[in-house]
Structure 1
């Protein structure tokens, strides 16, 4: 009887608001075709190390696979990897996801990581675990696309695996997660909001975006029958009443979106998604009517900058006038636009930041319902870009506040330092001065108090109205500096920050 490999999949802790670990569910579905798998979710099992070791004690596993986005997930990934290495020294440890894709050599510099899977992992991980279950033949390892590993102490990068468009018959094994109610959250969309990802990848290659590095401009939409089956399961079997789509770019080409919008219209589940200004502006009136029927409540739109030159530099592919136009368009069609901006670029840092403040004010004037999320612009290192893009559009060398070249971490442990977690999360950058950092904090404090997000379901309505009134004079007169009274009020009200907590 052939050996059926068994894999322990681990989702490192990253949030207090658990969402379905979609990447691990997809991996489990692929692994279970030829073996079996078990999932430990650190967002549910808060003592991740203990939960992982307890799972490993119950049965034999051929390998453990750990999915890592980066940022705050790196530290718990390291902790669980070290614990496995200590208690089960012969068990292969595999890292996959954005972090090992972007920082492969860094990942394999750690003694507690044996293999790194780059890009999409479903086929690569299944092949790897199968080979490991048969003894780990080196020639077989060398044939696995998208795998990086060590041979005689040297790091080997196998050729990339071609982009996989997904299996229309794939069924996600939600039953592996236990009680689904733990993953259905109360949000501004509904009382039982689920997360889902229909399409993967993005045609665009923004210089700060891990999606571009992960997929290299490739994208794939799901067959309509699979989307309807999966959403129907979430609604009718699990009781979800609304959806957060984690698609990298839900609105792409209009002709491709119509069948998906028709499904959403039939299901009548309010939803949120990522979108692009240029794509929304191209939609016909008939499609916008379908958008209305589908109950789209909010679209997250990457505006990034009011500077056309800056947008060209970061390869965004949109223009500032399109951002202003889509704010009006969304208002007309009853959709809340949630605009994100990248502040403090490494060149013309203060000037670009102040221009962005004024552009945000113009957006709020055009459509006061517009939601605003601000980040710090932190581009990927040249070596982290997709192989198709490396060296083609090199940016100016990144310099820190002292004019020295920015040196990125060379080990996963270094990435757990606060300054690098902040860099990965677009929360801080080495070229920011304390003065500008404070200026950004003050502006954002005044802005979010003047216009509390509709996504804040926790703060009482009277409290949000009071904070808005308190901040109005500062906002009106551009008196952002040292909003001490708003800081004090926030200690009691604690307005929600979508860029930290998510939708």
Structure 2
């Protein structure tokens, strides 16, 4: 047996090759694993032959554990496929699932015979501790690993939750484990060589519907300016990146903490995209906005969520509809495109709330026509998946389907791969929607998307987008959304980009 543990990390397929970005979570895990061991990464978003890539990883190699990062939605199916293949290749190797799916549904993940361990929340420390214990045969240590769920003879055991901390590697992330990192640079609205990066983790807000709140429990951690400068220097000068897509869960946290980071970004002058909150942007001082402009922020994804003050209070969003409208105007003045996401069709007052949101979107477009609008179906987490403290303090109402029956969430990963549950996880459908309302939402999205094509669409010619916009104008102005057959026909030919499907 080698003195150093060996781990295989797999990123199951979840997106197209064109949309593949750095598997940042696996790179952070690899940095932790490499301190006392070594690892190999298989990114199936790039290696499109997933079975072949996994088989090749095992060829002449042995592992103490195999870890898979598993989001909800379509990645569950490919994670199952990869896990079954690993079990076939080496029945003895322990299989560990991490990321959002096992954090939200640890019992469901461990109900599968091909999952031995589930890491809840941050895995940067938990996974190396587990791999070290497995390598040394110290199974007595497993019960002490915080944030770990596992199978004992008596049943599933959930160890104590782990406190979220920032565990920065001493150097750069191990990008070399991905082969040539330049293959992850993408042509986007921001630039011809856009790179993915994450500076901070977590979010101090505790929205009841949000997987980030469930995973991090209100914790957040920012990097120091020196680390960000080092990372951006590598991405810009070594890899040749000309723009950055930041995957921070909430980029603008407290202004005083952000200023040193914005100063570094202003030096680098790389056009960028990020997640943000309306209230945080509204509270920035003029001097900080000057830094934001200098740093070349191009687009901010803002969770507007609802046009209803009551619903925003219910989901503990912490913002108001008037702030959504105000930040749209503020972004217009500063040359930033606000990409606003809305959740329609909540379980209560479903149709009324949806129509109210449609009208609110129109007002938003009147204030700032360049605002991007992304519409999702409101599909809240089951109460059991929310952070334990939030669950106790703010219990949710039971979820009912269209017939008034209590919703029963899947008990196995396989059931989560059924279309209705993939749609639920991706916020594209919910059991309480009627067919009529589904069509209404779909038709409104079609008219809106054609009337205001997204600037993120780099594929469709400009004349095509102008033509579709003109064709949709009368429907939009007359509020005649139902049955836009001519726009649907045009979309089959042109296939305008949908940010909620493909992202930046």
Q: State the TM bucket, normalised to the shorter chain.
A: over 0.9
Checking the alignment, whether the CA contact within 8 Å between 2:245 and 2:274 is kept in structure 1 is yes
1:101 aligns with 2:103: yes
Partner of 2:39: 37
Checking the alignment, whether the CA contact within 8 Å between 1:18 and 1:182 is kept in structure 2 is no
Partner of 2:15: 15
Matches within 5 A, 1:59-458: 59-135=61-137, 137-167=138-168, 169-458=170-459
Q: 1:142 and 1:394 mapped to 2: Cα distance?
A: 29
What 5-or-longer segments of structure 1 have no aligned partner? Answer: none
Spell out, residue by residue over 1:53-74, the C-alpha distance to the aligned partner (whole angstroms, 9 max, x if none). Answer: 2201221111100011111110
Deviation at 1:208, TM superposition (A): 1.4
Deviation at 1:168, TM superposition (A): 6.2
Deviation at 1:153, TM superposition (A): 4.6
**Match of 1:167, SS?**
coil
Q: 2:262 and 2:165 mapped to 1: Cα distance?
A: 24
Partner of 2:4: 4
Query: TM-score scaled to structure 1, two decimals?
Result: 0.99
Q: 1:44 and 1:142 mapped to 2: Cα distance?
A: 36
Deviation at 1:115, TM superposition (A): 0.4
Deviation at 1:134, TM superposition (A): 1.4
Q: 1:369 and 1:376 mapped to 2: Cα distance?
A: 23
**Match of 1:325, SS?**
helix
Checking the alignment, whether the CA contact within 8 Å between 1:446 and 1:475 is kept in structure 2 is yes
Checking the alignment, whether the CA contact within 8 Å between 1:7 and 1:62 is kept in structure 2 is yes
User: Runs ≥4 in structure 1, deviation > 3 angstroms?
Assistant: none
165-174 or 473-482, which deviates more: 165-174
Q: 1:475 and 1:167 mapped to 2: Cα distance?
A: 49
Alignment root-mean-square deviation, CA:
1.0
Checking the alignment, whether the CA contact within 8 Å between 1:249 and 1:275 is kept in structure 2 is yes
Checking the alignment, whether the CA contact within 8 Å between 2:274 and 2:300 is kept in structure 1 is yes
**Match of 1:443, SS?**
helix
Q: 2:359 and 2:162 mapped to 1: Cα distance?
A: 44
**Match of 1:122, SS?**
coil
Q: 2:237 and 2:88 mapped to 1: Cα distance?
A: 44
Checking the alignment, whether the CA contact within 8 Å between 2:206 and 2:317 is kept in structure 1 is yes
What 5-or-longer segments of structure 2 have no aligned partner? Answer: none
1:475 aligns with 2:476: yes
Name the count of aligned residue pairs.
502
Q: 1:164 and 1:56 mapped to 2: Cα distance?
A: 33
Q: 2:166 and 2:124 mapped to 1: Cα distance?
A: 11
Query: TM-score scaled to structure 2, two decimals?
Result: 0.98
Q: 2:472 and 2:160 mapped to 1: Cα distance?
A: 55
Deviation at 1:181, TM superposition (A): 2.6
